Structure 1
């Protein structure tokens, strides 16, 4: 059943009474440790999966839900748990270019009797709606004290590089993809910011 049909299957009198809430469901395909979590508390069984409730441990930047093709980014602010810190430190191999999806799930805000059926408070209504599909990129982190750490996860949509030629950038990664083992651009990043070479005579 598609999203439209799933919405039409929700009783109209339920949608009209205004007691409908929503929450985000997020899937992050970390290498060796994929995560499914939602913006509430406790475990939530939806769509054949169990989503871990992280509450306010993770926040999501605003998402553009227009119908036009967009390359806008989404950024997560993550709790600085030991697991997330280890992922940040290994971001290049375990995070970068891995899939991320954000969906919206409707909920009943209180017990409602609809026809012959009773809808319980907190019960998911319908199937999740896809809001964002993309890939995870950089996972920068910073520390301003022994107990104050900030972790961010930057994500881009699937159309982010739609105008770029395949392997069209002069980076070490692209060069190795073109010519495995080539180290010609390996030191390129250190020359990007006013690097000065000193020659000894």
Structure 2
């Protein structure tokens, strides 16, 4: 069932009450420590998981919600807790290339019906963004002020580039697993010189 059909399946009398709210639900698949957040308060048991209310997630940048394919990046501002800073320091192995999903969920904000609880989710979650996590830069000013950002790109961000189009050891090994032609490329990128013997 598509998003349109799932929205139509919600009873019309609930949609027209003017008591509908919405929230973003975010899944970040950090290696060894996947996290689920939502933009409300407290824990939200929903769709077989418990979503932490805000928690270490502070804000999400704007997301294109039109029905066109978007190549824009999305970034998250995170609380600079010890756990999040540890992820930032190990970003290459625990963050980069891992999945990130953003959903939208409709909620019944209030109701006079005794059978419907305050804040009950209406219908399933709708996917807003699917992509992968990239870099996790952090800043520090003095002993008390820290900032942490997580940059992500959608599935179509590099859609105009050929697959395996970079001159890196990882791309070369993906094309030819036993090829060692790019093993030493990082050395040369920083001005390393090799003296050839005749």
Q: State the TM-score bracket (shorter-chain normalisation).
A: 0.7 to 0.9
SS class of match (1:112): coil
- Taking a change above 3 Å as real, the CA distance of residues 189 and 84 of structure 1, as seen in their structure-2 partners, is farther
What residue number does 1:88 align with?
88
> Matches of residues 23-102 of structure 1 in structure 2 within 5 Å?
23-54=23-54, 57-102=57-102
What residue number does 2:196 align with?
none
Matched, 1:121 2:110: no
SS class of match (1:118): coil
1:134 to partner: Cα distance: 0.4
> Matches of residues 1-201 of structure 1 in structure 2 within 5 Å?
1-54=1-54, 57-113=57-113, 118-175=115-172, 177=174, 178=176, 179-180=179-180, 182-190=182-190
Task: Choose 91-100 or 35-44, whichever is displaced more.
Answer: 35-44
- Taking a change above 3 Å as real, the CA distance of residues 166 and 46 of structure 1, as seen in their structure-2 partners, is same
1:175 to partner: Cα distance: 4.4
Per-residue CA distance 1:65-95 (angstroms, 9 max, x = gap)? 1211111000000000111000000001100
SS class of match (2:190): helix
- Taking a change above 3 Å as real, the CA distance of residues 187 and 118 of structure 1, as seen in their structure-2 partners, is same
Please give the TM-score of this superposition, normalised by the length of structure 1.
0.85
Does structure 2 retain, via aligned residues, the 8 Å contact 1:111–1:118? no
Does structure 1 retain, via aligned residues, the 8 Å contact 2:57–2:76? no
Task: Choose 170-179 or 9-18, whichever is displaced more.
Answer: 170-179
Does structure 1 retain, via aligned residues, the 8 Å contact 2:19–2:111? no
1:184 to partner: Cα distance: 2.5
Per-residue CA distance 1:36-67 (angstroms, 9 max, x = gap)? 11111111111111111126842000100121
What is the aligned length? 190
SS class of match (1:119): coil
Per-residue CA distance 1:137-189 (angstroms, 9 max, x = gap)? 01100101111110000000011122222221123543454535843311355
Aligned-partner Cα distance in 2 for 1:98–1:189: 26
SS class of match (2:115): strand
Aligned-partner Cα distance in 2 for 1:23–1:89: 30
